[in-house]
Amino acid sequence: MEENIQEKTNVETDEVSALQSDKMRNTRIGKLLLSMSLPAIISMLVQSMYNIVDSLFLTGITYQPNGYIGTAIGQDSFNAVSIVMPMTMVVVALGIGIGVGANAYIARKLGEGNRAHADKAAKTAIIMVLASWLVMVALAFVISKPFMRAFVNSDNASDKEYVINQGALYLEIYMLGSIGVIMDITCARMLQATGNMKIPMITQLVGAVTNIVLDAAFIVGCKWGVLGAILATVIGQWAAAAIDLMAFFAKKQDVSISLKGYRPQKKYFFRIFKIGLPAFVMNAMNSVVTIILNIMLRNYANGITVLSAYFKVQSFIFMPIFGLMQGAMPIMSYNYGANEKKRFNDTFKLGLYIALGVMVVGTLLFQIFPDALMSIFKSNALANGQTQEQLDEANRILVEEGAYAFRAISIAFIPAAFSILVINMLQSINCPVSSLLMSLSRQLLFLIPSAILFNYLWQQQGIWYCYPVAEVMSLVVYIPFAIHDYRKQFRYKAKQYEQNAVHAKD
């Protein structure tokens, strides 16, 4: 019996040696991290670009839809989309959670030479995508309008009913069509786990370009406003997901997602869930935090607008870091599974140096040019008797408040680089609890109490400083635990290899 098991393991190992994922064991780390990360970074930057383009099209609306009675159609349209952003972030978080869980598990199993388990995990991830989408469909018409009514008031909307109805419409369509974004994110992460970074880059580029072209056609050409924005977004997501699926079915990959004849096994669901939960929580906590901050900011005329503008602009700084992590995580997971500690360490250190460099540049941009960055979101439309002088004054106040917020929040960028990399490192060595706790701390446990306190003491201007305070406090508290977990997990992995037991336990 033992001989048969060992023989099967040897066969699986021989098969893996011919797989493209084998480059994570042998290619020089600098070249490997560049080849794995650069496509993801490019696609993330394109993703950030079309988020900005969406905003430009909406704030630039100059026509007035039937029944609109407000004075700022551009800002009302932008605010409608901004207010629902936390709910769309939850949908994206589902895809990221499933994708990260499958990514780390598949890469680790390929590193161990256990292709069969990697294959079953990929199929399980597809089932999880379909189940998540059904939940979103069930919720679409239940939560959309109540969610909008909770945040819209006369302080942040010149036409309340327009903002509520348009925001609810956007959210309903987004959730109904959410299978595109969840499938795209999950399939892209699974391809990355095998070392295939080109297809995910192509899917992001296709999705973004489709979105931008359709934004112009639907918002400017057809004059569909918010409806045009969401249709462009969903169609772009479907286009990206279609290419991901074609990559799996048109050409044999290291893992298969075909469900034909596959009987789901709950152990793979729990493996993916356990690893992906911190990633889901980290991204879902962005949503929860944004909702809580919006509750505080809804009483300030430009509060929600400034926060939404910040998220769109800061994505140009953070998206390259997330792209870097998409390349680094499968490398670290694979080499942890293969017990290649030096390659794991080299990947972590190089990733940290690059992340710090990006964040230094980002901090300087936000400190030196915040007015220019916030000016992107000025409204261009005169509506219902508003004079040009009134519009100019409203824009001046918006830019001034936004610039202050950008400078305050960007203090958090450099410590955030450490936090993001450590959280991903913990996921790659199968420490989901530690990763989850650190994610919760920086996103919720430290940030929200700070925001509440600073809002009480200094109102809107004080709220923005909750970000740097939370980042620094989470690092001080959790870095010692991260070091302990790292040492413990590699001792465990080394012991597995010494006892030739790496395939004995899933």
CA neighbor of 402 nearest in space, from 384, 377, 380: 377
Alpha-carbon gap, residue 91 to 140, rounded angstroms = 11
Alpha-carbon gap, residue 82 to 290, rounded angstroms = 10
Q: Using an 8 Å Cβ cutoff, are 92 and 62 in contact?
A: no
The Cα angle at residue 396 between residues 393 and 401, in degrees rounded to 5: 130
**Helix/strand/coil percentages in the chain, nearest 5:** 85, 0, 15
> What's the start-to-end Cα distance of the chain, in Å?
18
Query: Looking at this protein, which amino acid is placed at residue 202?
Result: I
The tokens of 210 are what?
């489709």
Alpha-carbon gap, residue 351 to 45, rounded angstroms = 18
Q: Coil, strand or helix: which one is 277? A: helix
CA neighbor of 114 nearest in space, from 122, 490, 68, 270: 122
**Predicted local distance difference test score (pLDDT) of residue 385:** 67
Q: Using an 8 Å Cβ cutoff, are 164 and 179 in contact?
A: no
CA neighbor of 229 nearest in space, from 425, 43, 435, 55: 55
Q: How many residues are given for the chain? A: 506
CA distances from 492 to 332, 347, 443 (A): 16, 20, 30
CA distances from 74 to 63, 283, 376, 385, 431 (A): 9, 28, 12, 15, 46
pLDDT tens digits along 96-143: 999 989 998 998 888 888 888 999 999 999 999 999 999 999 999 899
- CA–chain centroid gap for 438, Å, is 17
**Predicted local distance difference test score (pLDDT) of residue 156:** 75
CA neighbor of 240 nearest in space, from 315, 280, 187, 288: 187
**Predicted local distance difference test score (pLDDT) of residue 63:** 76
CA distances from 179 to 103, 167, 191 (A): 19, 20, 18
Question: Which portions of the chain are predicted below pLDDT 50?
Answer: 1-18, 504
The tokens of 346 are what?
């080299």
pLDDT tens digits along 62-90: 777 777 887 778 888 888 998 898 899 89
Alpha-carbon gap, residue 171 to 47, rounded angstroms = 19
User: For 216-340, where are the alpha helices, taking DSSP H only?
Assistant: 225-250, 266-297, 303-337
Bin 311: left if φ > 0, else alpha if -120 < ψ < 50, else beta.
Answer: alpha
The tokens of 308 are what?
């939404």
**Predicted local distance difference test score (pLDDT) of residue 19:** 58
Q: Coil, strand or helix: which one is 408? A: helix
Residue 29 class from Cβ within 10 Å (0-12 exposed, 13-18 middle, 19+ buried)? Answer: buried
CA distances from 252 to 88, 140, 247, 249 (A): 33, 36, 8, 7
User: For 152-265, where are the alpha helices, taking DSSP H only?
Assistant: 160-176, 179-193, 198-215, 225-250
Q: What is the pTM of this model?
A: 0.77
CA dihedral 343, 349, 351, 356 (to 10 degrees): 180
Alpha-carbon gap, residue 445 to 282, rounded angstroms = 12
CA neighbor of 324 nearest in space, from 354, 361, 359, 282: 354
